[in-house]
Amino acid sequence: MTQGNGGDTGGNARLEDIIGIESIKLGFFKEVQKTINELKASNIELEQKRRDVQDILNGIPDVVAVVSPDYRVLSVNSAFSETYGKRDPLGLPCYKVFKNSKRPCSPCPLVMAREEGRKVCRQLQIMNVDGENRQIECSAALMPGTGDSPGKVLLLHRDVTVEKQYQAKYFQAERMATVGVLAEGVAHEINNPLTSIRGFAEALYGHLDRLGVCLKDGEPCTDLLETFEEYLDIVLKECNRCSEIVHNLLSFGHRDVRAMSIVNINNIILNCLKLLHPRLSILPSGIIKLALSEEEPCVMGHPGELMQVALNLILNALYEVRDIGTIDISTRVKGRMVLLRVSDTGGGFAPEDVDKLFEPFFTTKPAGQGIGIGLSTCYNIIMKHGGEITASSEPGEGAVFEVILPLLEE
């Protein structure tokens, strides 16, 4: 009996063990099932977030693409097919997809963003879209990577063709308005050599009778020929002077459609002062004080547009000093930048106006003396050249305008 009871006890223990194990299994299964359900819910949530992000990207009218470190397109938004009319670019090199090229672009905004550590790198490129060359603003933003692996790059393509066309017309309208300001002085400047030409032409005409007599009688006329040569030399010089004045004005007024070239900012300032000579000649001497850099301040840019900026700043300063102050114009090279500074001792601007100076159609001048597009045009031109323009002023203490442009590196 004792053994039987012991056997029953052992059997009960084994049964309890089995039941315990099964209970543990059941609990583990429930825990696993709970984890699976949580993972399913998490996946559903992640998928919904992915769709939300994709919907946001598809709602952006600009082309958005994610590109791998080896230039492969990983994803695009719906604007891609609408803009480029191509299907399934995934896995293809971005330079093949966007420019049908066999090698990476030079310069490449992706490389610039990645190698130079820029958060955002912008670049204007000409791309063929539906058989038409369009101006595309390419922006590349570096995405954070995992560990030591390089991050992906977010590419954004914005078609700015129409915007650039309107901007060019805007620049040209402002430039022609400046030409109108210069025209009166230029007309006066041309009148001076024309007066000389007329005077010497009349003098030559008066000598014709004497020349005729000398030739008829066979008399020597060496002195008369020397006079003719002297007068004609003066006439030619005055004609060249007129031609140079007109050329400078036409060069400024002509819309610059050429590619960027090397521009020496010192030469820009000197050419501006030549154009303004008629106005400056009637002002007190010493009103303009120059301090130009001995190191050549060369940049890559459009000469006409940069001259437009300098002319606007100098004309504004001339308006402010009103013949009784001074204007300081300086250039210098600082590190990898070129600095142009135009300051005056005029009335200055109110603090609340300084932040508005570069807004279109904002002006502090009386009605009829300005429409407020000069400084906004300067701002747009300098931004297009990758630079900065700032203004500082105190009422009664004049104003300071500073332009910073990237130095041309050899």
Same domain membership, residue 151 and residue 10 = no
pTM score of the predicted model: 0.48
What pLDDT does residue 165 have?
A: 73
Same domain membership, residue 311 and residue 184 = no
Same domain membership, residue 219 and residue 130 = no
Does residue 140 surpass a pLDDT of 80? Answer: yes
Identity of the residue numbered 224: L
3-state helix, strand, coil in the chain (%, to 5): 50, 20, 30
Same domain membership, residue 65 and residue 54 = no
Q: Which of 280, 295, 380, 297 is nearest to 341 (CA)?
A: 297
Same domain membership, residue 316 and residue 267 = yes
Place of tokens 């692996």: 149
- Per-residue pLDDT tens over the stretch 271-292: 888 878 767 877 888 899 999 9
- Per-residue pLDDT tens over the stretch 10-64: 555 565 555 556 556 566 667 777 777 778 877 887 777 777 767 777 777 788 8
Distance between CA atoms of residues 48 and 37, nearest Å = 16
Q: Is 372 left (phi over 0), alpha (psi -120 to 50) or beta?
A: left
Same domain membership, residue 267 and residue 394 = yes
CATH (domain of 366): 3.30.565.10
- Per-residue pLDDT tens over the stretch 229-265: 888 888 887 787 777 667 656 655 555 555 678 999 9
Of 159, 190, 207, which residue constitutes the final position of a domain?
A: 159
For 161, counting Cβ atoms within 10 Å of its Cβ (0-12 exposed, 13-18 middle, 19+ buried), the class is: middle
Band of pLDDT at residue 373, cut at 50, 70 and 90: low
What pLDDT does residue 259 have?
A: 64
What pLDDT does residue 333 have?
A: 95
Does residue 355 surpass a pLDDT of 90? Answer: no
Band of pLDDT at residue 80, cut at 50, 70 and 90: confident
Same domain membership, residue 24 and residue 82 = no
User: What are the b/e assignments for 229-255, b being 16+ CB within 10 Å?
Assistant: eebeebbeebeebbeebeebbeebbee
Of 59, 78, 98, which residue constitutes the final position of a domain?
A: 59
Does residue 369 surpass a pLDDT of 60? Answer: no
Same domain membership, residue 212 and residue 233 = yes
Listing from the earlier edge strand, what are the strands of the sheet with 153-159?
A: 73-76, 63-67, 153-159, 132-142, 120-129
CA angle 230, 281, 292 (to 5 degrees): 100
Count of structural domains within the chain: 4
CATH (domain of 168): 1.10.287.130
Boundaries of domain holding 126? 61-159
Tell me the CA end-to-end span of the chain in Å, nearest whole number.
109
Q: Which of 307, 302, 312 is nearest to 256 (CA)?
A: 302
Same domain membership, residue 170 and residue 233 = yes
CATH (domain of 104): 3.30.450.20
- Listed in sequence order, the residues at least 6 apart from 11 whose beta carbon sits closer than 8 Å to its beta carbon are none
What pLDDT does residue 210 have?
A: 76
Same domain membership, residue 339 and residue 251 = no
What pLDDT does residue 354 have?
A: 75
Of 142, 159, 176, which residue constitutes the final position of a domain?
A: 159
| Selected residue with higher pLDDT from 87 and 80 | 80
Parallel, antiparallel or unpaired: strands 288-291 and 327-334:
parallel
- Per-residue pLDDT tens over the stretch 169-207: 666 666 666 666 566 556 656 766 777 788 778 888 878
Share of the chain above pLDDT 70, in %: 73
- Per-residue pLDDT tens over the stretch 311-349: 889 988 988 887 788 999 999 999 889 999 999 998 888
Same domain membership, residue 190 and residue 130 = no
Same domain membership, residue 311 and residue 331 = yes
User: What's the rounded mean pLDDT across residues 80-87?
Assistant: 76
